[in-house]
Structure 1
Amino acid sequence: MNKKKTDLRIVRTKQSIRKAFYELIQEKGYEAITIQDIADRAMINRNTFYLHYQNKPDLLDTCMDELLSELQQTVVLCPFHMNPFRLSRLETVMQAVLEHISGSITLYYAMLVEESRIYPFRAKMEAIIKGKLDEGWSPAQGDSPLAVSKELLLEYLVSAFMGIVIWWIKNDRPLSAAEVSSQFSNIVTYGHLRAAGIAVEE
């Protein structure tokens, strides 16, 4: 057997293992899964699993790292500035993230939603989003006084961003990525009441 065929077999085996892993996380939750469960679902034997991964945490770490690396590559390509702020730039970041998620929706559902969620994954994803928003300040702008704490503002934006992402995944993408991104950007820019068209009396 030549090397190319061997490599393709390895790729397919790893894909089967990861697909089985994500399906089982959704069905049983991470803690309840055994190596035998994964092997049975992927239609391999336990020895084949151990040829590729040391144990279940190693498989989880590998899956998280690959998914987050893809997300990082996605957001790196999006230009973003906080001062001056441009609604279209935030919209671009959100839409890029949602479109990336759509391409791996089963994986993100397994990592972020309901009882199956993996807390370290959310924390690492939040760090990527926060880093992107934080990079919008140039060194000079970072020293400029703000009316609110910069850290508080970043936490607010990241929490809102992640809340909408999880809502979108959990509810099977009820709006298009473009529509969600547009509405989120309007809420951030104009405030939730004004963006919703609700009159406010002082």
Structure 2
Amino acid sequence: MNKKKTDLRILRTKQSVRKAFYELIQEKGYEAITIQDIADRAMINRNTFYLHYQNKPDLLDTCMDELLSELKKAVVLCPIHMNPFSISRLETVMKSVLEQISGNIIFYYAMLIEENRIYQFRAKMENIIKDKLNEGWDPAQGNSTLAISKELLLEYLVSAFMGIVIWWIKNDRPLPADEVSSQFSRIVTHGHLKAAGIAVEE
């Protein structure tokens, strides 16, 4: 068998294993899954699984590292603005994240939704977003004085960001990525009541 055919076979096997893994996480949770469950679902034997992964934690780490690496690359490409909390940055980062999720929706659903979610995945994803929103912050430039804690502001933005991402995944992407991103930026700019067109009494 030539190398190209062998490589394609290995790639297909890994894809089958990961697809089976994601589906099983959704169905029964990470802790309840066995190697035999994964092998049966992927239609391979246990020995084939161990040719590619040491154990279940190794498979989980590999899946998380590869997807988070792709997410980070997409986010890094978003343009840098002088103001790290600029609306255009929030909108661009949100759209990039949602588009990345769309290409790997099964994985993100397994990692982020409901009782079977993987908590360390969400924490790592939040750090990627936080680092991007904080990128370029220089107290010596622009409006460096904030009326509230910078750390609190970052936590608020990341929490709101992730809440919308999870809502979008859980509800099977009810709005296009660019529309969600635009609405998110308007909520941050004007506050949730004004953005929704609700009159606010003093």
- The TM-score, its normalising length taken from structure 1, stands at 0.95
Shift, 1:200, TM fit: 1.3
Question: What percent identity do the matched residue pairs reach?
Answer: 86
- Once the two structures are superposed, what CA deviation does each residue of 1:160-187 show, in whole Å capped at 9, x if it has no partner? 0000000000011111111110110000
Task: Please give the alpha-carbon distance, in whole angstroms, between the structure 1 residues aligned to 2:100 and 2:175.
Answer: 15
Equivalenced residues, count: 202
In the alignment, what sits opposite 1:167?
A: 167
Shift, 1:86, TM fit: 3.8
Cα gap change, 1:135 to 1:198, in 2 (>3 Å) = same
- Once the two structures are superposed, what CA deviation does each residue of 1:89-148 show, in whole Å capped at 9, x if it has no partner? 321111111011011111100000002200000000000000000104235249922111
Cα gap change, 1:164 to 1:82, in 2 (>3 Å) = farther
In the alignment, what sits opposite 2:134?
A: 134
Cα gap change, 1:53 to 1:85, in 2 (>3 Å) = closer
In the alignment, what sits opposite 2:15?
A: 15
In the alignment, what sits opposite 1:90?
A: 90
In the alignment, what sits opposite 1:115?
A: 115
Cα gap change, 1:187 to 1:136, in 2 (>3 Å) = farther
Q: Which aligned runs of 4 or more in structure 1 are off by greater than 4 angstroms?
A: none
1:71 has 2:52 as partner: no
In the alignment, what sits opposite 1:149?
A: 149
In the alignment, what sits opposite 1:103?
A: 103
RMSD: 1.6
Q: Which runs of 5+ in 1 are unaligned?
A: none
Shift, 1:40, TM fit: 0.3
Q: Is the 8 A contact 2:17 2:39 kept in 1?
A: yes
In the alignment, what sits opposite 1:32?
A: 32
Q: Is the 8 A contact 1:81 1:137 kept in 2?
A: no
Task: Please give the alpha-carbon distance, in whole angstroms, between the structure 2 residues aligned to 1:143 and 1:62.
Answer: 41
Q: Is the 8 A contact 1:80 1:133 kept in 2?
A: no
The residue identity in structure 1 corresponding to 2:21 is F
- The TM-score, its normalising length taken from structure 2, stands at 0.95
Shift, 1:194, TM fit: 1.0
Q: Give runs of aligned pairs for residues 36-47 of structure 1, distance below 5 A.
A: 36-47=36-47
Q: Which runs of 5+ in 2 are unaligned?
A: none
Instruction: Give the match's secondary structure for 1:157.
Output: helix
In the alignment, what sits opposite 1:81?
A: 81
The residue identity in structure 2 corresponding to 1:103 is G
